[in-house]
Amino acid sequence: MAKIITREWTSRGPTGRRVRHVSYGYDLAVNGKRERHFSTEWLTEADALGALTARLKAIDAGQLVPPAARTLKELADEYLQYKTDRKKRSLREDRRIIKTRILPAFGADLQVKKLTGPMIAQYEKRRSGEVSAFTVGNELTILRHMLRLGRRWGYLEHVPDIEPPKKPEGRRRYLDEAEIGKLLTACAESRNKYLGGIVALAVNTGMRKGEVLGLEWERIDLSSARITLYDTKNGTPRGVPMNRAVYDALITLAPAAEQRAGLVFKARDGGAWGQIRTAFATALRKAGIQGFRFHDLRHTAASHLVMRGASLKEVQEVLGHKDFKMTLRYAHLSPAHLRAAVDRLDGLTEVTTKNDGAAEPVHAAV
> Is 37 part of the annotated catalytic residue set?
no
The catalytic residue among 233, 260, 286, 293 is: 233
Please give the torsion angle defined by the CA atoms of residues 249, 254, 256 and 258, in that order, rounded to the nearest 10 degrees.
-140
> Is 298 part of the annotated catalytic residue set?
yes
The catalytic residue among 89, 99, 145, 295 is: 295
* DSSP assignment letter at 100: I
> Is 208 part of the annotated catalytic residue set?
yes
The catalytic residue among 298, 299, 304, 329 is: 298
Helix (H) or strand (E) holding 29: strand 18-30
Type of residue numbered 306 = V
| CA 268 to the chain's CA centroid | 33
- Order across the sheet with 226-229: list the strands: 220-221, 226-229, 238-241
Contacts of 119 by beta carbon, 8 Å cutoff, 6+ apart: 106, 160
**Residue 286 burial class via C-beta count within 10 angstroms: exposed 0-12, middle 13-18, buried 19 and up:** middle
* DSSP assignment letter at 332: G
Q: Among candidates 225, 226, 232, which has minimal Cα distance to 208?
A: 232
Computed on alpha carbons and rounded to an integer, the radius of gyration of the chain in Å comes to: 29
Instruction: Give the whole-angstrom CA distance, residue 175 versus residue 288.
Output: 12
The catalytic residue among 70, 208, 209, 219 is: 208
Residues forming a β-bridge with 362: 351
* DSSP assignment letter at 157: S
Per DSSP, the three-state class of 33 is: strand
> Is 233 part of the annotated catalytic residue set?
yes
| CA 318 to the chain's CA centroid | 18
Which residues are part of the catalytic machinery?
208, 233, 295, 298, 321, 330
